[in-house]
Amino acid sequence: MKRRDLFSILLLPLLSGVLPAAMANTSSGGKRTPLLISEREWQDLAQRRASDAELDLLVQSLLERAKKDLSLPLPERKLIGKRLLSVSRELIRRCLGWAFAWRLTGEQTYADRAFAELQAVAAFSDWNPAHYLDVAEMTTGVAITYDWLYEFLTPEQRDLICQAIFDKGIAQAKNGHATYKRDNNWNQVCITGMVLGALAVANNNPALLRDLLPPAIAAIPTGLKAYQPDGIYPEGPSYWSYGTTYSVLLLAALRQHRLGDWGIASTAGFMRSALFYAHSVGPSGKHFNFADGGEGQELAAALVWMAREMQQPVLLDAKRDLIRQKNGSADRFAPLSALWWPTQSKQRTAMETHFSGQGAQPLAFWRSSWTDSNALWFAIKAGGAAHSHAHMDAGSFCLDWAGLRWAKDLGMQDYQSLESKGIDLWNGKQQSPRWKVFRLSTEAHNTLMLNAQPHSVNAMASLRSDVDGRVQIDLSSVLGIPRATRTVYFSDTCIRLEDQLSGGQPGTQVRWAMCTSAAVSIKGNTATLTQQGKQMTLRFEGAPVTLQMQDISTPRADFDAPNPGTRQLLVFGQITDRGDWAVQTVFEPVISS
């Protein structure tokens, strides 16, 4: 029996239950089911604010932002390169903020402004189906806002919005869409956008669900493979927030409509991925931003929902700091974070200080403490370039101490800045222009190179962790050498990074690199890093090496972005006549007496 036929047999019983339930919940003759948030959740918000200072501050920040946004001009259909995505995302941010403010304050000004925004995008010629993420995000924003404003809108206004959702959104995907076949965030975002749109307008067109739900259900597992087996999202923390938030939106909508969860929550690694994301934020407040991501934090709605679902509000500790700094309201789904915010527990579950796992991009985290602002934190990854949004960063690491980042990842470069220069950014072959971009290349990452050659694009480094928390990464295939390992020994006071090569060509140059914003001084085999009055030493033991400091703040090519205030500590050595090379790096904070 063909695999597709077997899947259809397994899917039919699920659909037989889902579709009748969906029809009953969205029948034009019955009571309207809220799309994501129940009336009880809206009603409970005031009481929960009274007992949680951070939640109250978040709500206040959202209301202040909504008021400030009233002066913004109406959106226009202006593409940046091939994307309308910035317009779609800004609509979500503005409209959810205004609809949230209207629900809390009852002030009609907010509802009027939100409807004006919806009316403006409804008049667009289209929502840019050539780049379907734009359609999915626009549909999501319009559908949620429509749901939250439903009692305010006139029948004519409702019809206008529903028609726009259908014509410019879900009509192109009612029998499925090509984006559903992707195994990355596109699958999650596009499926969710279409399902939310269909559920929002189901009172007007309930039969639509018969066409739209089956291909969506069938395609969901493709995008969820990314979480298996241990919850490490291979596109990095930034894209975890993006893709996972959309999967959580879908889960919330399915549960509101009593449609089950389509196996999303029970997928191996999905819920555990909240731990991956929480661990990825160092004591500096910055992410281990491997792949196409940024180091800055955001208030990830997916993490808030998971913390409530798992009854682990401790997962949100870093986000509470973000809110106290009044930076929590910037995320476009921040109103949902407020509504999903978990109740504080008097008995807090302690978080493990070490996390590691397998997947397309295996990695490991350590920290000396979750509560000490001077905690030592180290993150390192295996994997490699053969994945969506990946960089040539196998073996790369980040390091925090005393609330500062000492070893950093430069992160992504804006796509349009590269595409506008003719860079074939999505070509992943070994000689692709993608790997000429400095931030994406091996040279820019905190890892090893041999004879200045980039890593093998199709090779993937493996990771092994023992019971004592020691982690060893095998870089052999990535570097093209019989044996190359990078082993991490972590303690609360220092980190030892041991690099060992064997079977190599004698005389081969070995390059060890680390990016940092700290000032660097070199004396023999020791580098001293200094920033904000703090110091850390890096001592290199073993094979003979030469240390250099290189300023990388200025772009090396016209398409490269600058890296202000950033430099690289470079360490050079040679493979011996025996074909081996071994160096141990000791990272040690300088503790003032």
Is residue 101 within 8 A of residue 42, CB to CB? The reply is no
Is residue 405 within 8 A of residue 398, CB to CB? The reply is yes
Burial of residue 470 (number of CB atoms within 10 Å: 0-12, 13-18, 19+) = middle
Helix (H) or strand (E) holding 538: strand 534-542
Give helix 317-324 / helix 53-69 axis angle, nearest 10°: 50
Cα angle 206, 212, 215; round to 5: 150
Residue 525 lies in a domain: yes
For residues 333 and 432, membership in a common domain is answered with no
Burial of residue 148 (number of CB atoms within 10 Å: 0-12, 13-18, 19+) = buried
Beta bridge partners of 405: 400
Burial of residue 28 (number of CB atoms within 10 Å: 0-12, 13-18, 19+) = exposed
For residues 329 and 301, membership in a common domain is answered with yes
For residues 365 and 330, membership in a common domain is answered with no
Task: Please state, in angstroms and rounded to a whole number, the distance separating the CA atoms of residues 566 and 223.
Answer: 36
Task: Please state, in angstroms and rounded to a whole number, the distance separating the CA atoms of residues 109 and 141.
Answer: 19
Q: What DSSP line would sit under 400-466, residue for residue?
A: EETTEEEEB------HHHHHTTT--TT--STT-GGGGSGGGSGGGSSSEEETTBPPPTT--BEEEE-
The pLDDT, as a whole number, for residue 1 is: 38
Cα angle 417, 420, 421; round to 5: 90
Q: Which domain holds residue 399?
A: 355-590
Last residue of a domain, one of 279, 306, 340: 340
Residue 200 lies in a domain: yes
Any idea which residue has 């913004």 for tokens?
A: 72
Given strand 363-367, what is the order of strands in its sheet? Answer: 354-357, 363-367, 377-381, 397-401, 404-407
The pLDDT, as a whole number, for residue 305 is: 98
Any idea which residue has 């400091």 for tokens?
A: 549
Helix (H) or strand (E) holding 243: helix 236-256
Phi, psi for residue 333 in degrees, rounded to 5: -105, 20
CATH code of 186's domain: 1.50.10.100
For residues 94 and 168, membership in a common domain is answered with yes
Contacts of 65 (CB under 8 A, 6+ apart): 97, 329
The pLDDT, as a whole number, for residue 426 is: 93
**Tens-of-pLDDT digits for all 593 residues of the chain?**
343 333 333 444 445 455 545 444 444 445 789 999 999 999 999 999 999 999 999 999 999 999 999 999 999 999 999 999 999 999 999 999 999 999 999 999 999 999 999 999 999 999 999 999 999 999 999 999 999 999 999 999 999 999 999 999 999 898 899 999 999 999 999 999 999 999 999 888 778 888 899 999 999 999 999 999 999 999 999 999 999 999 999 999 999 999 999 999 999 999 999 999 999 999 999 999 999 999 998 999 999 999 999 999 999 988 988 899 888 889 999 999 999 999 877 666 789 999 999 999 999 999 999 999 899 999 999 999 999 999 999 999 999 999 999 999 999 999 999 999 999 999 999 999 999 999 999 999 999 999 999 999 999 999 999 877 899 999 999 999 999 999 999 999 999 999 999 999 999 999 999 999 999 999 999 999 999 999 999 999 999 999 999 999 999 999 999 999 999 999 999 999 999 999 999 999 998 75
Task: Please state, in angstroms and rounded to a whole number, the distance separating the CA atoms of residues 290 and 388.
Answer: 12
For residues 478 and 432, membership in a common domain is answered with yes
Is residue 243 within 8 A of residue 226, CB to CB? The reply is yes
The pLDDT, as a whole number, for residue 277 is: 97
Last residue of a domain, one of 340, 366, 381: 340
Query: How many residues are recorded in the chain?
Result: 593
Any idea which residue has 């667009």 for tokens?
A: 124
Domains in the chain, number: 2
CATH code of 458's domain: 2.70.98.70
Task: Please state, in angstroms and rounded to a whole number, the distance separating the CA atoms of residues 57 and 378.
Answer: 31
Task: Please state, in angstroms and rounded to a whole number, the distance separating the CA atoms of residues 542 and 93.
Answer: 54
Task: Please state, in angstroms and rounded to a whole number, the distance separating the CA atoms of residues 290 and 332.
Answer: 23
Residue 470 lies in a domain: yes
For residues 331 and 389, membership in a common domain is answered with no
- b/e code 98-114 from CB counts within 10 Å (16+ = b): bbbbbbbeeeeebbebb
Burial of residue 489 (number of CB atoms within 10 Å: 0-12, 13-18, 19+) = middle
Last residue of a domain, one of 316, 340, 364: 340
Q: Cα–Cα distances in Å, from 142 out to 26, 112, 454? A: 18, 14, 45
Tell me which residue of 356, 389, 561, 313 sits closest to 462, measured CA to CA: 356
For residues 438 and 304, membership in a common domain is answered with no
Residue 435 lies in a domain: yes
Residue 124 lies in a domain: yes
Report which residue type is found at 190: C
Q: Cα Rg for the chain, rounded, in angstroms?
A: 25
For residues 115 and 185, membership in a common domain is answered with yes
Residue 349 lies in a domain: no
Task: Please state, in angstroms and rounded to a whole number, the distance separating the CA atoms of residues 327 and 350.
Answer: 26
Q: What DSSP line would sit under 122-181, residue for residue?
A: HTSS-S-TTSHHHHHHHHHHHHHHHHHTTTTS-HHHHHHHHHHHHHHTGGGGBTB-GGGG
The pLDDT, as a whole number, for residue 349 is: 76
The pLDDT, as a whole number, for residue 306 is: 97
Instruction: Check whether the bond before 564 is cis (ω within 30° of 0).
Output: no
| Both tokens assigned to 13 | 């019983």
Residue 348 lies in a domain: no
| Both tokens assigned to 357 | 């796992």
Contacts of 493 (CB under 8 A, 6+ apart): 368, 376, 588, 589
For residues 336 and 359, membership in a common domain is answered with no
For residues 373 and 316, membership in a common domain is answered with no
Given strand 495-502, what is the order of strands in its sheet? Answer: 462-465, 471-474, 483-490, 495-502, 581-590, 534-542, 526-531, 519-523
For residues 271 and 378, membership in a common domain is answered with no
For residues 289 and 362, membership in a common domain is answered with no
Helix (H, G, I), strand (E, B) or coil at 321: helix
Is residue 442 within 8 A of residue 454, CB to CB? The reply is yes
Residue 347 lies in a domain: no
Any idea which residue has 């969906």 for tokens?
A: 22
